[in-house]
Amino acid sequence: MPVLHQMQVSGNCYKVRLAACQLGVKLTLRDYGLLEGATRQPDFLAKNPNGRVPLLELDDGRTLAESDAILFYLSEGTRLLPDERWQRAEVLQWMFFEQYSHEPYIAVARFWLAFAPKQELEKKRHLVPEWHSRGNAALGVMQTHLSRHDWFAGGRYSIADIALYGYTHCAADGGFDLGAYPAVDAWLRRVAGEPGHIPLEATW
Ligand SMILES: N[C@@H](CCC(=O)N[C@@H](CS)C(=O)NCC(=O)O)C(=O)O
């Protein structure tokens, strides 16, 4: 069975668990602590030189890093990834948006404000306003799109929604007020209502 190297509280790892659960893909979970630098040890670096989870390890030893690449791999040929050319490109558009304009601010604010040791946070405190400003800009882009569409790509629920759900649904942990984004809030409820949905805390 493929192994998902992961951290339970990570939104990036949650994306993969959520998609796997909804697709009925069985994975063995191998957990790493958030703060101990476990993914920076030689054993793990041999699997992913970038020292980060999630990492999918197949039975034949191949490894795949980057949450959205793993989502793409798991969902090929399933209802979570359209097969039409334009719609697939829309999926990628939103996943690249998530990685460049959303996750670096919303996930990072959540990590430092909700999980990092307080003395470490103090060294980063001056960055918080920029994380909030850029994260709110990303939420504004989502709000604009979701004011006119139910889903991000292809007119239906897909891995683009899963990629953006990962850190949007827990953005309050990083000091973001989702009440300012009613269309995003409504979309969060639609995503949570999809068949097979699991919360971030769920183990399996
Ligand atoms: N772009 C990557 C980001 C992965 C990432 O930042 N992983 C964090 C957990 S969310 C991690 O492994 N942190 C441990 C470390 O950097 O040492 C993805 O989407 O998978």
| Average pLDDT estimate for 49-62 | 98
Res 39 pLDDT > 80: yes
The C-alpha atoms of residue 99 and residue 168 are separated, in whole angstroms, by 12
Res 161 pLDDT > 90: yes
158 lines ligand 1 (CB under 6 A): no
Q: In whole angstroms, what separates CA 178 from the centre of its chain?
A: 17
Nearest C-alpha neighbor of 34 from the set 89, 116, 113: 116
51 lines ligand 1 (CB under 6 A): yes
Grade residue 204 by pLDDT with cuts at 50, 70 and 90. Answer: confident
Ligand 1 centroid – CA 52 distance (Å): 4
Of 12, 34, 98, 100, which is best to mutate to test ligand 1, by the most ligand atoms within 8 angstroms of its C-beta?
Answer: 12
The C-alpha atoms of residue 17 and residue 179 are separated, in whole angstroms, by 27
In eight-state DSSP terms, residue 52 is: -
Res 104 pLDDT > 80: yes
For the CA of 37, the closest atom of ligand 1 is: 17
pLDDT given for residue 32 in this prediction: 97
104 lines ligand 1 (CB under 6 A): no
Q: In whole angstroms, what separates CA 175 from the centre of its chain?
A: 18
Grade residue 153 by pLDDT with cuts at 50, 70 and 90. Answer: very high
136 lines ligand 1 (CB under 6 A): no
pLDDT given for residue 87 in this prediction: 98
Nearest C-alpha neighbor of 72 from the set 197, 158, 187, 138: 158
Grade residue 79 by pLDDT with cuts at 50, 70 and 90. Answer: very high
pLDDT given for residue 115 in this prediction: 97
Please, are residues 108 and 131 in contact by the beta-carbon 8 Å criterion? yes
The C-alpha atoms of residue 163 and residue 54 are separated, in whole angstroms, by 13
Look at ligand 1, atom 15, and give the residue with the nearest C-alpha.
Answer: 52
10 lines ligand 1 (CB under 6 A): yes
Ligand 1 centroid – CA 80 distance (Å): 23
pLDDT digits (tens, 9 = 90+) for 5-26: 999 999 999 999 999 999 999 9
The C-alpha atoms of residue 8 and residue 201 are separated, in whole angstroms, by 7
pLDDT given for residue 203 in this prediction: 80
